Structure 1
């Protein structure tokens, strides 16, 4: 087979890889992208998008179920609903399919050559790809590694049978009666909450002292409250030891050192993700590492000339939008533009119920960096829009320097606060001060008013509390 020669080769068509290839194509760079499975990567196919579809379906089902139980203060009553999870999964798969086709269409529009198959390095400029029609060799001037990440497997709970990862959880044919979630981070709680709303009896096992250990207690408290309302049992400072002899329960060690068996139809293991470094010839490259991740500089360059790395394989935060931003930057660098990674913040969202969104520094992080800070916090219980939506739990919080009022961080917990993430990130990227946010006219009635009120509170003149 004839070799393919190009200026840029992108390995992996996840969010970082396909954005990099599209932008490079737009800039006239001769680009080839290789993908072993489906365009869109983990995020589109088995992560962000399908999980949010399942979460939405679960929310809608729970709303109707409450109305059927006569619990709606809105005066709405309906017949008892039924859930056909197979139909829900088919709807989710339809969305994924549309987006997958859309990505392929955008790549073709940008004149990017798509090679389907598994790539393996021969050297820093050459890969061989196992395609359906045989081996394809590709040589490139520059290479971008965007191979992503995969779920971490516990030695005591290997995937298979009743033990599943988030991938299998998103395609279950029926709602499990008893679901045990190992790992109380954002993936475990997002999916655990969804299944609880769909009717599963859910137990969460977390080794740390609190669920969502990466967030402060004030942000986690409304989530914990809601889990209790949904009947989710949460066991903290507990360790999973393995399945029982008959495979029908998870054996754990509790905080007091005792063993306990938790009956489970399915055990969902969500203890983190690891970079996908095996199976594509990494041993053929002499790349510096930062732990398990590839080490990069502020232009996403690895230790090997002409080889870049973006996304989850480069470390935390493992977020699709970080990978996208890195991919766009690298494409422009390869095209000859001057770019460097100088982001002030990368917003992060936890799609629990209620949602959590953070950008920049938390109060503790700001203090640890030596800042003298002031904090403004506004509760949604004083927000008119939240009241009309029967979702008053949570708040918006702003962290700013005392001397200059420069905004260092923004956090919120509440229904739908993920949509505040762009305003939070923009404020920090633009170097906003408390006065800038407080003087910006916010539409009424919206949840976004909480941002303005939090800034006013930090300045000492909140209007609605």
Structure 2
């Protein structure tokens, strides 16, 4: 094959990679992107998008079953709702396919050349791509590594058969009667809760002392109560030992073992960089543990080699990768850019949802800030009452000397949509007075943001 030369080579067409390539193309940079699978990466194909589709379908089915089983507070009665999982999966796959096509169309519009195949570094400027028609060599002035991450396996629980990762969980042909989820972090909680609503008997096995250990206890409490309502079993301070006949063998902190019945065992204990076969051994890149070390320009330790997204470590979030991709594209195009984000929003799509932006109270105090905290419950929010779910709250953390907002957190139904307002407030350097004096539409959950700020200032109106 004839060798390809370009100014920018992007390896991986996930959210970070395709954003980088599209922006570079818009800026007139001669760009090539390499992708071994479908465009969109984990997020679009087997992560964010399909999981949220499954969660929505599960929520809808559960609500209908609840209305059929007892008197609905809304006065709605229905008979025997049924689930056709094949149609549900087909609907989910249709959304993914539509977005796949959108990514390809935007790359083409930006005049980005797409090479389908698996890339392997020959050196810091040269990559060989194994395609269907042979090996394609690509030489570039700058290279962006955006290969993402993949699920972590546990010793003795290799993926295959009844042991599945989040990827297989999103394409099951039947709802498992008994599902054991190893890991009660956000990935495990999201999928496990969805399957509980679809009819599975779900058990969570968590090695630490509580679910969602990355979030503070106040935010997690409404989620834990909801799991109890759904009939989900949660085992904490318990470790998976290995497969057993018809299930999974686990052991608690005292050494006592038990067998959990399981048709499927979902392992959701984290993700690791996806670098298999990439040939990173041919490069001289500094690492931070298993991840590639980068600076404020997303540059690695080798000149002209950048890295973005999950391969650079936590937080492993698509929107972080996208922001990094845009930044690198503009740097390659000659613009002056540096990573100067004050916060990156994190959302857990559990029931209820959790959103965290900036510093929670304990972290703010640990960093030496003298703070004031305002918290407003959704039980005093009219919009929350009208949709029948008023559990949760909005919380604002601010410096006590200047009232500059340091962080915002919320737990409740649909609070993920508050993440943009939270992030904007911190990026703009808002003070409590700015938020409190901004007119928020009524009735909306966003009023909780205003009310929490008023509470921190000492003059809450509705509590």
> Shared fold by TM > 0.5?
yes
CA deviations 1:172-206 (Å, max 9, x no partner) are 00100000000000000000000000000000000
Q: Which stretch of the first structure deviates more once superposed, 274-283 or 318-327?
A: 274-283
Once the 2 structures are TM-superposed, how far is the Cα of residue 67 of structure 1 from its aligned partner?
A: 1.0
For the pair 1:358 / 2:356, whether they are aligned, the reply is yes
Work out the CA distance in 2 between the residues paired with 1:256 and 1:87: 45
Work out the CA distance in 1 between the residues paired with 2:377 and 2:349: 19
Query: In 2, distance between residues paired with 1:277 and 1:92?
Result: 28
How far off its partner does 1:156 sit? Answer: 2.0
Q: For residue 23 of structure 2, what is the aligned residue in structure 1?
A: 23
Offset at 1:254?
A: 1.5
Aligned partner of 2:293 in structure 1 is 295
Q: What is the distance in 2 between the residues matched to 1:67 and 1:402?
A: 47
SS in 1 for 2:461: coil
Q: Which residue of 1 aligns with 2:60?
A: 60
Aligned to 1:327: 325
Partner SS, residue 128 of structure 1: strand
Offset from partner CA, 1:254-310 (integer Å, 9 cap, x none): 133200100000000000001112211111001000110000000000000000000
State the alpha-carbon separation in 1 of the partners of residues 97 and 368 from structure 2: 48
CA distance in 1, matches of 2:327, 2:242: 44
What is the rounded CA distance, in whole Å, between the counterparts of 1:72 and 1:241 in structure 2?
Answer: 43
Match of 1:204 in 2: 204
| Rounded Cα–Cα distance in structure 2 between residues aligned with 1:232 and 1:66 | 16
Alignment of 1:204-283 (within 5 A): 204-244=204-244, 246=245, 248-283=246-281
Unpaired runs of 5+ residues, structure 1, are none
SS in 2 for 1:250: strand
Q: Name 2:47's counterpart in structure 1.
A: 47
For residue 226 of structure 1, report the CA deviation from its aligned partner: 0.3
Q: Secondary structure at the match of 1:97?
A: helix
CA distance in 2, matches of 1:161, 1:352: 27
Separation of aligned partners in 2, 1:155 and 1:103: 37
The unaligned stretches of length 5 or more in structure 2 are none
Counterpart position of 1:150: 150
Alignment of 1:45-124 (within 5 A): 45-124=45-124
1:19 counterpart SS class? helix
1:412 aligns with 2:410: yes
Give the number of aligned pairs: 463
- Cα distance in 1 for partners of 2:20, 2:280 equals 21
Which shows bigger deviation, 394-403 or 83-92?
83-92
Query: 1:71 deviation in Å?
Result: 3.2
Question: How far apart are the structure 2 equivalents of 1:243 and 1:68?
Answer: 37
In structure 2, distance between residues paired with 1:307 and 1:233: 47
Measure, in 2, the Cα distance between the counterparts of 1:257 and 1:369. Answer: 38
Alignment RMSD? 0.5
Q: What is the CA–CA distance in structure 1 between the aligned matches of 2:198 and 2:314, rounded to whole Å?
A: 32
1 CA distance for matches of 2:182 and 2:75?
Answer: 39
- Structure 1 outlier segments of 4+, above 2 Å: none
Q: What is the CA–CA distance in structure 2 between the aligned matches of 1:427 and 1:278, rounded to whole Å?
A: 40
User: 1:386 & 1:255 partners in 2: Cα distance?
Assistant: 40
Aligned equivalents of 1:181, 1:45: Cα separation in 2: 21
Give the secondary structure class of the aligned counterpart of 1:66. Answer: helix
- Other structure's SS at 1:180 match: strand
User: Deviations for 1:406-425, whole angstroms, at most 9, x for unmatched residues?
Assistant: 00000000000000000000
Separation of aligned partners in 2, 1:409 and 1:278 = 38
Aligned-residue offset at 1:70: 2.4
TM-score (norm 1): 0.99
C-alpha separation between the residues in 2 aligned to 1:71 and 1:278?
A: 54
Query: What residue number does 1:432 align with?
Result: 430
Supply the distance in 2 between the matched residues of 1:421 and 1:260 (Cα, whole angstroms): 41
Distance, in Å, in 2 between the alignment partners of 1:172 and 1:386 is 34
2:136 and 2:328 map into 1 onto residues whose CA distance is 25
Q: Secondary structure of the equivalent of 1:82?
A: coil
1:4 match: 4
**Structure 2 length-normalised TM:** 1.00
The alpha-carbon deviation at position 85 of structure 1 amounts to: 1.1
Distance 2:243 2:85 in 1: 26
Deviations 1:419-446 (A, max 9, x none): 0000000000000000000000000000
Structure 1 match to 2:314: 316
How far apart in 2 are the matches of 1:38 and 1:117? 10
- In the other structure, the counterpart of 1:337 is 335
Distance 2:126 2:254 in 1: 55
